[in-house]
Amino acid sequence: MSSAILKVSCQDRKGIIAATADFISMNGGNIITLDEFVDRTSNTFFMRVEWDLKDFTIEQPEIRNAVDALAADNSFGGNWELHYSDGLPRMAIMVSRFDHCLWDLLLRHKAGELKCDIPVIISNHEDLRYIADLFGIDFQVVTKSAENKTDAERQEFEILDTCGADFVVMARYMQVLSPDFLSRYENRVINIHHSFLPAFEGAKPYHRAFERGVKVIGATAHFATADLDKGPIIHQGTLQISHQDSVDDLITKGRDIEKRVLSDGVKLFIARRVFVHENRTVIL
């Protein structure tokens, strides 16, 4: 059964939920879920409401205009974002040589856990082509270095445009994307960092965690921004460790957290549950 998903972020005021619920009810819709949150510091209201379209009297092509009229007639302002459950987003994956996150994403997708299309996998190495072949997914290699980064990203843009990618997942893609790339896909590039941010940003976080004698390690799924490892956090996970664990132990154990956190973060994004507010997220 197809459903509509409406994401709202605007200045808080009375009547937003009531007006939205009335709009859905009066047009024959049945609300499936409704979640809301108010950030008191900025007085910002967030809402995610989903309703089934079985008996909805407004035809799907006209719902967008009706929602715009609802917001305008009540002077709510803000952002009213409409999606449909049967409109699968297209996820492009970028990888280098580490394969654990890629395997996890593809297996979960095959099992129906990730409700999206995967039109392409882009890599700066040939190593993981065999995995893409196993799943019947197009694999494109774009070699990248400091000297050819601009040309390489131009090739990546062409690939992403051609396949109609809606968002990008960096599944341990060991390259820093340019500000130009990130501005084109603002809040649509999901990265997995093998540390519980904001601790141990940058390279070799497990080595630095070992040196500090930490008792937990973690992973963070976040939106990539021009400020490396400082983008809005989507999802995190941790695991207890001890003084008996070596650096290699931390890396091995950490890979399990990385793939789970990345997949869970992607699920939240695909389900239209993630709102970006300043440099953090609200998950509804």
Are 37 and 28 in contact by the 8 Å Cβ rule? The answer is no
Return the closest-CA partner of residue 161 out of 187, 140, 130, 192: 140
In DSSP terms, which residues pair with 9 in a beta bridge? 46, 79
16 CB contacts (<8 Å, ≥6 apart)?
8, 10, 45, 47, 74, 76
Catalytic pick among 99, 104, 166, 229 = 229
d(CA 160, CA 131): 20
Give how far Cα 239 sits from Cα of 100, 212, 234, Å.
17, 16, 18
In DSSP terms, which residues pair with 57 in a beta bridge? none
- Catalytic residue flag (residue 264): no
d(CA 266, CA 91): 9
Return the closest-CA partner of residue 70 out of 17, 140, 121: 17
- Active-site residue set: 229
